[in-house]
Amino acid sequence: MALMRLFAAVLLTLAGSVVAAGIELREFDDPVMEQRYRDHTSSMRCPLCENQAIDDSDAPISGDMRERVYQLLQDGQSDIEIINHMVQRFGEYILYTPRLENRTSLLWGLPIGLVVLGMLVVVLMVRARRNASAKALSAEERARLDALINRERSS
């Protein structure tokens, strides 16, 4: 049992070092800069591997993109400038969170539209039901109801 555990630990350590091999270590003096670097590299998709962020990918292009993000941060560029810089070259595709523009209006608008539509349907149904119950008694029914109530009272 103990041997198994040791074996597993060794395997895990090896696996960890293999994964880490492709991703370089970067030192930042400024913790804000470091956070921005992490945010950018975790929110950009590797153009080659499709379902990996560039901070998680061993593809050469991801390494180049991390390096470029780092350089642009060092040059003092703003977040929007960095994103534009990358999108100009690799397209909207690399953004995990697509920007709000005409082409993506359906993507962003559809959920909101559906919620509004759903609320409208609920309001209409509730109203219809309320009207229906308020109007439920016809003159004839009312007369019968009165008769019943009066019978209760008089007895």
Partner 1 sequence: MTRRLLLLLLPIGFVGIALFLYQGLGRDPSQRDSALMARDFPAFEASTLRDANRQGDQSLLTGEVTLVNVWGEWCPACKQEMPQLLELADNGIRMVGINYRDTREKGLEFLSEFGDPFEVNVFDPEGSMGFDLGVYGAPETFLVDADGVIRYHHKGYVSPEDVRERILPEVEKWR
Which is closer to partner 1, CB of 64 or CB of 81?
A: 64
Residue 57 within binding range of partner 1, rule CB under 8 A: no
| One of 17, 88, 97, 154 touching partner 1 (CB under 8 A) | 88
Q: Which stretch binds partner 1 (CB under 8 A): 9-17, 20-28, 81-89, 97-105?
A: 81-89
DSSP states of the chain:
-HHHHHHHHHHHHHHHHHHHHTSPP---S-HHHHHHHHHHHHHBB-TTTSSSBGGG---HHHHHHHHHHHHHHHTT--HHHHHHHHHHHH-GGGBSS---SGGGHHHHHHHHHHHHHHHHHHHHHHHHHHHHHHT---HHHHHHHHHHHHHHHH-
Minimum CB separation from partner 1 for residue 89, in Å? 4
Which is closer to partner 1, CB of 6 or CB of 110?
A: 110
| One of 6, 18, 119, 124 touching partner 1 (CB under 8 A) | 124
Residues that bind partner 1 (CB under 8 A): 47-48, 50, 59-61, 64, 68, 87-93, 110, 121, 124, 128
